[in-house]
Structure 1
Amino acid sequence: MKNLVIMPAMAQNRERMNLGEYAEEATIIMDDPVKPANHFIEANTQEVTLNHLKNDCITPVFSKDNELTINHAQFVETIQDAAQSFFSGEKVEQATIRTSHIIKGRIPEAIHKPANQLLESDKTIYYERAAFSIDIPTIYETVGGNKLNLSIVGVRAYNQMNLYSKKVPELFRLAIGFKNQVCCNMCIFTDGYKDDLRVSNTTELYRAALELFSNYNPAKHLYLMQQLGNTSMSEHQFCQIIGRMRLYQCLPTGYQKALPRMLLTDTQINSVAKAYINDENFGSFGNELNMWKFYNLLTGANKSSYIDSFLDRSLNATEMALGINSALHGDEKYKWFID
Structure 2
Amino acid sequence: MAGNRLNLSIVGVRALNRENLATKKSPELFRLAVSFKNTVCCNMCVFTDGYKDDIKVMGTKELFKATLELLNNFNAAKNIHMMQSLGDTCLNEHQFVTLLGRMRLYQCLPQGYQKAIPRMLLTDTQINSVAKAYINDDNFGSLGSDLSMWKFYNLLTGSNKSSYIDSFLDRAYNATELATGIASALHGDERYSWFLS
Fold match (TM-score > 0.5): yes
The yes-or-no answer on 1:207 pairing with 2:81 is: no
Match of 2:32, SS state, is strand
Match of 2:33 in 1: 175
What corresponds to 2:9 in structure 1? 151
Structure 1 Cα separation of the partners of residues 19 and 27 of structure 2: 10
Matched, 1:160 2:39: no
- Aligned equivalents of 1:156, 1:204: Cα separation in 2: 14
- How much does 1:159 deviate? 2.3
Aligned to 2:190: 332
Taking the TM superposition and a 5 Å limit, the aligned residue runs for 1:4-19 are: none
Partner deviation per Cα, 1:62-90 (whole Å, 9 max, x = no partner): xxxxxxxxxxxxxxxxxxxxxxxxxxxxx
Give me the whole-angstrom Cα distance separating, in 2, the residues matched to 1:156 and 1:171.
6
2:183 counterpart letter in structure 1: N
User: Matched residue pairs, number?
Assistant: 197
Q: Which residue of 2 aligns with 1:243?
A: 101
Correspondence 1:39-50 to 2 at 5 A: none
Relative to structure 2, which stretch is displaced further, 150-159 or 171-180? 150-159
Instruction: Output the TM-score relative to the length of structure 1.
Output: 0.58
Q: What's the TM-score, normalizing by structure 2?
A: 0.99
Shift of 1:252: 1.1
Partner residue of 2:80 out of 195, 208, 222: 222
Q: Provide Cα deviations, 1:29-72, integer angstroms capped at 9, x if missing partner.
A: xxxxxxxxxxxxxxxxxxxxxxxxxxxxxxxxxxxxxxxxxxxx
C-alpha displacement of 1:280: 0.7
Partner of 1:297, secondary structure, is helix
Deviation of 1:166 after TM superposition, in Å, equals 2.4
Aligned to 2:137: 279
Gaps of 5+ in 1: 1-142
> 1:178, CA displacement in angstroms?
0.4
- State the shift of 1:222 in Å: 0.5
TM-superposed deviation, 1:312: 0.4
Aligned to 1:194: 52
CA distance in 2 between counterparts of 1:159 and 1:240 reads 35
Q: Which structure would you say has the larger Rg?
A: 1
SS in 2 for 1:250: coil
Give the share of equivalent positions with the same residue, in percent: 72
* 1:263 match: 121
Question: Which of the pair is proportionally richer in helix?
Answer: 2
Q: Which runs of 4+ in 1 moved over 6 A?
A: none
Counterparts of 1:303-314 in structure 2, within 5 Å, are 303-314=161-172
Structure 2, unmatched stretches of 5+, are none
For residue 149 of structure 2, what is the amino acid of its counterpart? M
SS in 2 for 1:171: strand
CA–CA distance in structure 1, aligned partners of residues 110 and 65 of structure 2:
42
Q: Quick one: higher RCO (CA 8 Å, sep 6+), 1 or 2?
A: 2
Q: Counterpart in 2 of 1:125?
A: none
1:157 Cα offset (Å): 3.3
Amino acid at match of 2:78: K
Residue 180 of structure 1 deviates from its aligned partner by 0.2
User: Which of 147, 151, 154 is the equivalent residue of 1:293?
Assistant: 151
Distance, in Å, in 2 between the alignment partners of 1:289 and 1:263 is 21
Residues 20-169 of structure 1 mapped to structure 2, 5 A cutoff = 143-169=1-27
> Per the alignment, in what secondary structure is the counterpart of residue 146 of structure 1?
coil
The aligned amino acid for 2:50 is: G
Q: Distance in 2 between matches of 1:248 and 1:282?
A: 24
2-structure distance, mates of 1:231, 1:209: 33
Q: Distance in 1 between matches of 2:97 and 2:109?
A: 18
Query: Where does residue 234 of structure 1 map in the other structure?
Result: 92
2:49 is paired with a residue whose SS is helix
Structure 2: which amino acid aligns with 1:239? V
Structure 2 partner of 1:13: none
Q: Which residue of 1 aligns with 2:176?
A: 318
Measured in 2, the distance between the counterparts of 1:181 and 1:171 equals 29
